[in-house]
Every structure is written in C-alpha cells, then in structure tokens.
Structure 1
C-alpha cells in the first residue's frame, strides 16, 4: 500500500495565462491514478483578472477537468464574498476540508457546511486510507476584508482536534498557514503537512513530519509517496497541454473586454517574487508612481505582496495585463501620516515578521521617497521624502491601497483613522496611468541596500 499525494497550491492568477493553466491541468491529469490523491492547499481560485470577472468561478473549468480529491481554503478564496465562495464549493467536484473556519462558532455552525464543507475526510488510494484535515490562517480576516464576517479559530488546535478523530492509515494536513507550518508540525501527529500561503517552495521534515509547499503561480506540482516520504518535483512548463482548459481560459479572457492595448514595453518587466520582494523593482515603481500621480500625494506606497507574480510584461501591454498586477477591488486612498509613523512603516517593511513571506524580504514599493536599509539586520538606516529627511514634526500625504489601512498584518503604523481621501480602484488607476504616461519604469535608486550604497550604479534585480 503506497498512496501518492499530488500537491498543488497558490495557483492564483494562473487562469490568466491559458497555456500555463492548460499545462497545469495536463500535469495533474498525467500524475493522477488509482493510487493518487490530488490535493490543493488554498488560493487556487483567486486572485486574478478572470477571478475578478467571474468571482472565482473560472476555477470550475479547471476543477471539472482535473477532478481533484480534496482542497482547503486559502485567504484569497474569500476575495469575492461568502456567497460566491459557498456557490463555488457547492459546484466543484472535490471535497473541501476546513477545521477552523466558522460561520458562527457559538452556534456550532461551520462555514459552508450546507455546501459540503467538512473539517476532515478519509479517502482511499491504492488500498490504504488517508485522513485529511484542512486549516486556514487565522489572520485571514485581517488580510482580506471580505472574510471579516466569518470566524477563524486557532488552526493548530483545530487541526489537532480534527486529527484525533480520524481513523486512517495516513494522516495529512492541508495547511494555508505559511510560516506557522513549523509550529503545526511540532504540535500534531501527522505524516505530512501540505502547505501554501508563502510563494516559495519547500520540501523538508520537522519532528518526523514531512512538509511540502509547491510555491505560487501554478509553476510546480509536488508528488509525495506517503509510504517512503519521497517527494518528486514536477515543472508545469514541461507538462502536456490540456487543450480544453486552455481554450476555456482563452474564451473567458476574450469575453472580459480588457484586450485594449494601453502601452508597449521594450525591456521585459520581471514579476518574480524574488524581484518584487527584493527591494526596488521596475513593476513596483510603476504601481507606486501611478498612485502618486493620480492623487498628487507626497509618497506612493504599494505593499510588495499586493503586486502579483506572473510572466514578465513585454511587448504590447493590454488592460488585462495591468489588471493582473493588482487584481483587487480595493480603492487607492490618501492617508495623512505623521513623520514618525511613516518612518515606522518603512522600518516594518524591513522586518522579518510577515507570516506569508521569507526572512530578509523587503515589503514596500515606493514613489516620491528614498530608503536605505540593511537586509541582514532588518533595519532601515535612512528615509527621505522629496529629497529631505523625514521629519517627525510634520505630516505627509501617502497614496496607497485601502487594504493597507485595513490590515494589521502589514504596516501597522498606518491606520484607517489617517485616511483623508478615496480615489479609484487600484487597477483602474494603473491602467489610466499607462494610457497617459506609458509603461517604461526604471530603477532609480529609491530603495538601496546599505551594502550597496557606495556603488556608482543601481542595476535591475
């Protein structure tokens, strides 16, 4: 008895790239079999351009073709509201497991139980039984305004309780906890934790429990032999193409009406997570400049995690291409921020504390300001706005996504009480900026590592 798990996660905007969506489906279909269980660990319906238009339902084309066995919620499953998610769960072929998401915990009412969501399930593959539990980060209500109406219990306690009730040959947790997977592994008795939420890959063990994470963007699938613990990495780029899925996404994209060309890029603009979280990036500059030009604020600020990874922007750029960069129904707002709070925000951007990121990443893309930071010490050395050091005794106007003021996970010194103006939806602001200004961002030395400060040139990451 040697069941295999086929693990995908955080495919997010893969649906906006029809060929990649088709190859992901082709790979999962190729790896499936009577001894296999196809498992997703969240953020497999949103965000993205098609997700915005279809409320995440474009994922049903993919799910119906692949027929996964089991799935849990990521924070982005809630992007389009509870009713849309409940409908998606009811219409999808896989079993959704969620041990810590409640509609009303006091009333013992689990979210979407009427649509088929269960805290755990037992599946069979190759003559063995596999018990599967699902948990989602309890910070979801903070990082997703559409999830504030449901309750997220402690995921580790919920996983422990759900696993205790399982009678199976193997025990698996689908986890959308990010860096808390280590804590989870030490707290529960499980053979494997299939993780997500952090956009980098993982394959290791903690206290005898296998931990896996395929990264984001639907680029990698991990195959796990539960009997041996062996993990095989499969690249989606090399997979056979599922024409049905690819054609479905092409058709949906054509129907969005977002195919207007709004600019041309001569030098490809990279969208890899190592670029977006590595300091100054051309794409981050484009977004932050758009916010500042639209509002006339002193500073434009974009959280790095709010710029989505994907294929490079190159050649003719459509409205859909730019919507995919920040595909959220969030408004650009202006906040009036005291100087000490602005400096504190940039100090947070250098910190290692964000649960869905790696230590040493930088979390802010900026316009109108310059920052010098030490990535090894997680410390900001200097902050200037308009060429002058930030002064504690004055206030600065900052253009940013309303999400940043909502969440207490990111930039905690920036608060809703500081909001003074609301502007347009962030992707609409970006598209209009491209129409008026073009799409030609450059690296300008806005964010410099202290160790690089004496270099005569700043090069593209």
Structure 2
C-alpha cells in the first residue's frame, strides 16, 4: 500500500529553526520505503530567511526531508523568475507543473528540470502526479507578472490523458495543487484519487465526489499522511509536528543562516504580546492590524492607512524585545508603502472591500483589511457598508483622500480591486523598514479602539468585531497567501 507524506505552505516555519527542525523530524519519521514525500507549494517564501537567502533555505528543507516532488505556490515567485530558476537547479526535488508558462509562453523551468507530470513507483504501485498553480498568481504576486498561468482544469486533464495513454499507466492519480478554493472544482471535473492542496491556510481532510481533498495547514504545524488503496477510497491523517524529534542538521543549517541576517537589533519593547494568528488578523479589528495601518499612514502623512490582512504573516506572538527580524517576519515582502489618491466615493468602495473580497484563498467569514484614522461600520447580513468616517468626519464622495498602503494592492485585482495603479501618487520606504522606523520613534502599543464594527441582523456588534487575542497561545495557523 503506497503512502504519501504531504507538506504545504510551510512559509516562515524556517524563521524558528527549532520549529522547522521538528517539522522535518516528523516528515522523516513518517517516510519509509513504502512512502514518497511531496509538497504543494509556498515552501520557498515568504519569511525572514527567505528574504535574506532568496529562498535557498527551501533547498535545506528539501534535502533534510528527502522531498521527491514539489509544485509551485504563488510565493515561489517572490524573488522573481530568475531567482526561482537558480533554486530549481539546486533543489533535489523535482518540480511538477502543468499550467505555468514563462515569458515566451513555454513551460516555466523546463531547462531546470520542471516536468508537467511525473510517475513514481511506491510500494509496488505506480502513482502519477500532476502539479498546478492558482491561475491568479500573476495578479497575486507582482514578481510573477511576466509569467502566465493557464486554466488548471484543462492543464491537469491533458496530463492525466497522457499518463492514461502510456504503455504502463499509473495505478493511482494524484494532483499536487496550489489552487486553494479551486480544489473543489478540480475534484468535480476530474477523475483522480486525491488532490493534495495548499494556498488556503486552514487544514482540510474530506472527500468531494469521491476524491480525497487534503490540506495540512500553514507554517508546518502538521503534515498529511495519505494512504492509497487498490480497492477503496484513499484516506489521510494529519500529523502534528509538535512532539517530533528535531532534525539536527536542518536546525543547525537554519541557525547559521539566521545568525548571518544581521536583524537582531531591538527596535522597541512590547509589554502585552501582540497576537497574529489567522483568527485574529482575519477576525476584524486587531492590535497588529492597527499597528501596521498606523505605521503606513505615519510614514506618508496620509489621510488613511490601509493594510490587507493577508499581508500580515502568521506566527508566534510579537512580545517583549521586538527586533528588526520580528517585524520583517510580520511583512516579509520587499515592496514599498505607496500613497494613493482616491475620491471619497472610491474610498467607500475600498473600505467595503475589506469585507467583500474577490479572493478564493480565504474562508467565507474572513475580514480582509485594517485601517488607520478611519472608522467603518459593516452590516454583515446585508453585506453593505453602513457607515464610514475619516478623522471623525463623514466621507465626502467628491473630495480627494490620500491612502497609505502596500504597493501590492495597486497591482492585484484579487483584493481591493477599486485600488489601481492609476491611483499612485507617491512612494515611501519598504514596508518592514517603515515598521522599524515607526516602532523606534513611536513605540509599539496598539489598542482596540472601535475602528471596525461588524453588525449582525439585530444591529448588534457581531462576535467577529473584536476577536479574542490570547497572548499565551502560540498558533501557526494563519494569507498574503
């Protein structure tokens, strides 16, 4: 009986070497002669180590875990196609990708060994794999804008047909997917045994139209052990990493990389831990969201500060001695804060889009933005913006307002689609550098002050308005996905 050991969205697990070492230890423990280790993307980035090592810490991980096959997540492209090609040449894993095309329309990474499908023999059975990536990646990630991403269902179907037509077709068919919400469509359209997914950060383990759909969650909190059977549907078990014996070689390699970052300077102290789990940053107003939005507005002297919740990376609470590395880990993207000029009418649309995103990588009830110097009242049942003010005054639809936000939001049409490149009116520093300067000058002491109110049908505040922050609880769950 063949088994698959599946990891995905490990992202900033590397920024805590002990945590990454335990993940690798769990994977090695589950591996064996009847198993194959596979990944479904966002192994390379984001994170502090990813930023300073251009993703090369993922090679350390692939070596330590003996990962055989991997596919591209949207964050594999964080450092650009050129850096990713160099990483492909270094990695012992074979990347499987059916729908990513390079600048010339050819299969991305073909010269570096990327294949559209692969067949491996595992415990006497032949297992065929296809890899696929979210077709919105060129919008989600500005560094992937020169690439193209074809329809995932058509791309996977073409590779399945090729494997089925082979002289010795596979006994099992598996998709390594970084589609997020698109996995359900894939399962309903195609006849495969399992879709090993990622992109959405919440764990999943269920069958859809007879196909096993699995996600292990984010930051290496767990891996999925998948069993493939000849006479019945496959099954999966999510295995947590917490009590695994750490992989000492990986821990040592990552510790050496962290020691060379030069980011251990203290910029501020924080008495009350600031949580940044998915439940917090996507649950409504929160301290970490207020801190970032305040810093953005301060840096560009804007009327409003705005950050997308998905840009705040999950991880351990920020507390005590706050270093440069801590704030890089919060927003590990080498993109500037920009000033946008919008009309009041556009600003109201932007504020409404905090609750009504077009993304398919989140959960239905997620809140997607945080603001500074603005207050928002959202009617969750009617799905409408009940009220919005800036600096305590009603928004004038004909007036012009400045908004300090991430450059990413001008590029992406997946979040805050009202904001476009044409609104750009200025540019500040790199986002994490803005956080450094703000923390050093103003400190870090954000409070919950009613910037976001979510109303239910009886006009009472919904529980989502102020999610409980549990400073003593460390969680790895947690987008920008």
In structure 2, the residue matched to 1:53 is: 52
In structure 2, the residue matched to 1:6 is: 5
Counterpart among 333, 339, 345 of residue 344 in structure 2: 339
Structure-2 separation of matches of 1:284 and 1:407: 20
Structure-2 separation of matches of 1:133 and 1:90: 20
Query: Map of 1:242-321 to 2, 5 A cutoff?
Result: 242-321=247-326
In structure 2, the residue matched to 1:182 is: 184
By how many angstroms is 1:353 displaced?
3.2
Q: Structure 1 residue 360 and structure 2 residue 362: aligned?
A: no
List alignment gaps of at least 5 residues for structure 1. Answer: none
Structure-1 separation of matches of 2:161 and 2:438: 54
In structure 2, the residue matched to 1:86 is: 85
Structure-2 separation of matches of 1:259 and 1:308: 19
TM norm structure 1: 0.96
Q: Structure 1 residue 207 and structure 2 residue 209: aligned?
A: yes
Structure-1 separation of matches of 2:84 and 2:379: 42
Structure-1 separation of matches of 2:88 and 2:466: 48
Counterpart among 124, 146, 150 of residue 143 in structure 2: 146
Q: Structure 1 residue 194 and structure 2 residue 199: aligned?
A: no
8 Å CA contact retained: 1:351, 1:360: no
SS in 2 for 1:110: coil
By how many angstroms is 1:454 displaced?
9.7
8 Å CA contact retained: 2:8, 2:42: yes
Structure-2 separation of matches of 1:236 and 1:299: 41
Q: Structure 1 residue 128 and structure 2 residue 125: aligned?
A: yes
By how many angstroms is 1:375 displaced?
3.5
1:409-429, CA deviations, whole angstroms, 9 ceiling, x for partnerless residues? 111111111111111000000
Query: Map of 1:33-112 to 2, 5 A cutoff?
Result: 33-103=32-102, 109-112=106-109
By how many angstroms is 1:368 displaced?
0.6
Structure-1 separation of matches of 2:304 and 2:264: 31
8 Å CA contact retained: 2:357, 2:415: no
1:85-106, CA deviations, whole angstroms, 9 ceiling, x for partnerless residues? 0111111111100000112565
Structure-2 separation of matches of 1:373 and 1:205: 35
By how many angstroms is 1:63 displaced?
1.1
8 Å CA contact retained: 1:50, 1:56: yes
By how many angstroms is 1:60 displaced?
1.1
Structure-2 separation of matches of 1:8 and 1:378: 36
SS in 2 for 1:360: coil
CA distance 1:237–1:145, change in 2 (3 Å): same
Structure-2 separation of matches of 1:323 and 1:4: 37
8 Å CA contact retained: 1:444, 1:458: no
SS in 1 for 2:46: coil
8 Å CA contact retained: 2:283, 2:467: no
In structure 1, the residue matched to 2:161 is: 164
1:193-250, CA deviations, whole angstroms, 9 ceiling, x for partnerless residues? 0111111111111111010011111111111111152211111112111111112111
SS in 2 for 1:380: strand
Structure-1 separation of matches of 2:235 and 2:383: 35
List alignment gaps of at least 5 residues for structure 2. Answer: 164-168, 470-481
Q: Structure 1 residue 423 and structure 2 residue 428: aligned?
A: yes
Structure-2 separation of matches of 1:133 and 1:33: 22
Structure-2 separation of matches of 1:363 and 1:215: 19
In structure 2, the residue matched to 1:226 is: 228
8 Å CA contact retained: 1:352, 1:360: no
Structure-2 separation of matches of 1:36 and 1:415: 47
1:420-460, CA deviations, whole angstroms, 9 ceiling, x for partnerless residues? 111100000001111111121111111111144499x9674
